[in-house]
């Protein structure tokens, strides 16, 4: 069984995407697709990709650190679930964005 990260370890692995990078991502993404049916944000942090100007029917942010919460009111079609990204069972998203969870290769299980 894998040991859960403590608060110190979580704080050291948290990286917030700069707002200009979030805006750039959505500008580039929307050049190729006007609207996304569903968006998955692994390592959602404070939900900045949900708040950053994307057009989507549904946004699911996955965040492991329960001390991270949205800096603003999320759009009605957006939500953040607090769980390990490796345990998120839904699939088939139109786009995946955000900071993926940092994992050392030593921590990966063979499965």
- How far is 4 from 1, CA to CA, in rounded Å? 9
Phi/psi of residue 23, nearest 5 degrees = -65, -40
pLDDT score at 17? 84
Tokens representing 85? 């990204």
Q: How far is CA 49 from CA 3, 33, 93, 102, 111, in A?
A: 29, 16, 15, 18, 30
The model's pTM: 0.77
Helix (H) or strand (E) holding 20: helix 19-32
- How far is 106 from 63, CA to CA, in rounded Å? 21
pLDDT score at 78? 97
Domain architecture of the chain: domains with CATH: 17-26+33-100 (3.40.50.150)
Phi/psi of residue 88, nearest 5 degrees = -70, 120
pLDDT score at 85? 85
pLDDT score at 24? 94
Helix (H, G, I), strand (E, B) or coil at 42: strand
List per-block mean pLDDT (blocks of 10 residues) for the chain, which spans 111 residues.
58 73 94 96 92 95 89 93 90 85 60 56
- How far is 61 from 79, CA to CA, in rounded Å? 6
């Amino acid at each position: 069984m894998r040991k859960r990260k403590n608060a110190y370890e979580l704080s050291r692995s948290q990286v917030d995407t700069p707002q200009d990078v979030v805006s750039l991502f959505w500008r580039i993404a929307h050049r190729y697709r006007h609207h996304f049916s569903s968006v998955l944000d692994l390592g959602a942090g404070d939900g900045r990709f949900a708040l950053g100007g994307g057009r989507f029917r549904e946004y699911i942010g996955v965040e492991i650190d329960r001390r991270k919460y949205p800096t603003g009111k999320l759009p009605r079609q957006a939500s953040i679930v607090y769980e390990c990204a490796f345990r998120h069972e839904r699939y088939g998203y139109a786009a995946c964005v955000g900071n993926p969870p940092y994992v050392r290769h030593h921590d990966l299980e063979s499965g």
